[in-house]
Amino acid sequence: MAQVFRPHQVFVLKFGAGIVLVLLIAGILIWRTVTADSPPIDAPVAQTPPFSHKHHVSDVGLDCRFCHASVETAAFAGLPPTSTCMTCHSQLFKGQPMLAPVAASFRDDLPLHWIRVHRLPDFVYFHHDIHISKGVGCSTCHGQVDQMPLLWRTQSLEMSWCLGCHRAPEKYLRPKSKVFDMTWKAPPDQLQRGRQLLTEYKIDRHRLTDCSNCHR
């Protein structure tokens, strides 16, 4: 009988199979990147006006709370109303084209539109105030904002990431005085300090990984 498959045909078959496999993997990778949440991590986000945290925090030396006024008192850290911007900018850099949108917003009572950089899904309920009051620093989740001309996201903000801290808070907790300190780095004896803070802040570890902590 004749061979059903000649060697070169066999080769073609194997090769084809290989191609298909490669395409499959490629497809999956593409799909994941396409459906990944935006803006991606570490990608600066352009805003109008091009607000620079770097300038306002490290150059001017504003405190976070000057704009994010309710971060200590409410679930939402809050974004400043245009009027807050105008407290300074009614005087400083008045004519700057860069600031035109702010002036316009104030004049026409039309709110500014900022692009959201840190967003959580609908079903996640995050409270800024409690984190602040229990010694979780801004930079722990938001990164060194004072070094960001344009803001970008430094953390995945995925559940597993949240759990990283909720399972081992002692690795991240800071003394109250350091919460708004952008330059804070964990000291070598952080673990032990952290445990002290845990008791000081009266944090119930059991609760931290309860589903009801974030989901309602």
Residue 6 vs residues 12, 14, 16, 19, 146: alpha-carbon distances, Å? 10, 12, 15, 20, 67
Please report, as residue ranges, which positions from 25 to 64 form the binding site for other proteins (by CB under 8 A): none
Axis-axis angle for helices 100-108, 82-89 (nearest 10): 120
Q: Closest approach of Cβ 54 to other proteins, in Å?
A: 21
Member of 49, 51, 82, 101 binding other proteins (CB under 8 A): 82
Nearer to other proteins, 187 or 195 (CB): 195
199: three-class secondary structure by DSSP? helix
Nearer to other proteins, 55 or 215 (CB): 215
Q: Closest approach of Cβ 185 to other proteins, in Å?
A: 26
Nearer to other proteins, 58 or 79 (CB): 79
CA dist., res. 105 & res. 83, Å (int): 9
77 near other proteins, judged by CB under 8 A = yes
153: three-class secondary structure by DSSP? strand
Member of 58, 73, 144, 155 binding other proteins (CB under 8 A): 73
Residues 6+ apart with CB under 8 A from 113: 48
Nearer to other proteins, 112 or 148 (CB): 112
Member of 18, 121, 149, 187 binding other proteins (CB under 8 A): 121
